[in-house]
Structure 1
Amino acid sequence: MIEMTERAAQHVRDFLDNRGKGAGIRVGIRTAGCSGLAYVLEFVDTPDDNDTRFDSHNVSIFIDPKSLVYLDGLLMDYEKEGLNEGFKFTNPNQKGECGCGESFTV
Structure 2
Amino acid sequence: MSTETADGGNGGTVTVTQAAASEALDLIESEGLDTDQAGLRLFVQQGGCAGLSYGMRFDHEPELDDAVIEQHGLRVFVDPASRNYVGGSTLQYEGGLQGAGFHVENPNVVSECGCGESFRT
Q: TM-score with structure 2 length normalisation? A: 0.84
Counterpart of 1:77 in structure 2: which amino acid? Q
Counterpart of 1:78 in structure 2: which amino acid? Y
Tell me the number of residue pairs that the alignment of Structure 1 and Structure 2 aligns.
106
Counterpart of 1:31 in structure 2: which amino acid? Q
For residues 94 and 16 of structure 1, what CA distance do their matches in structure 2 show?
28
Structure 2 equivalent of residue 95 of structure 1: 110
Structure 1 equivalent of residue 5 of structure 2: none
Unaligned residue ranges in structure 2 (runs of 5+): 1-12
Counterpart of 2:39 in structure 1: which amino acid? G
Specify which of 18, 33, 38 is matched with residue 30 of structure 2.
Answer: 18
For residues 25 and 3 of structure 1, what CA distance do their matches in structure 2 show?
13
For residues 46 and 76 of structure 1, what CA distance do their matches in structure 2 show?
19
Unaligned residue ranges in structure 1 (runs of 5+): none
Residue 9 of structure 1 and its aligned partner are, at CA, apart by: 0.4
User: Matched residues, percent identical?
Assistant: 36
Q: Does the CA contact (< 8 Å) of 1:2 and 1:61 recur in 2?
A: no
For residues 6 and 78 of structure 1, what CA distance do their matches in structure 2 show?
9
Residue 46 of structure 1 and its aligned partner are, at CA, apart by: 2.1
Structure (1 or 2) with the greater strand fraction: 1
For residues 79 and 91 of structure 1, what CA distance do their matches in structure 2 show?
15
SS of structure 2 residue aligned to 1:73: coil
- Misfit runs of 4+, over 6 Å: none
Mapping of residues 56-95 of structure 1, within 5 Å: 56-95=71-110
Q: Does the CA contact (< 8 Å) of 1:50 and 1:64 recur in 2?
A: yes
Counterpart of 1:3 in structure 2: which amino acid? T
Residue 83 of structure 1 and its aligned partner are, at CA, apart by: 4.5
Structure 2 equivalent of residue 5 of structure 1: 17
Structure 2 equivalent of residue 50 of structure 1: 65
CA RMSD in angstroms, aligned pairs only: 1.0
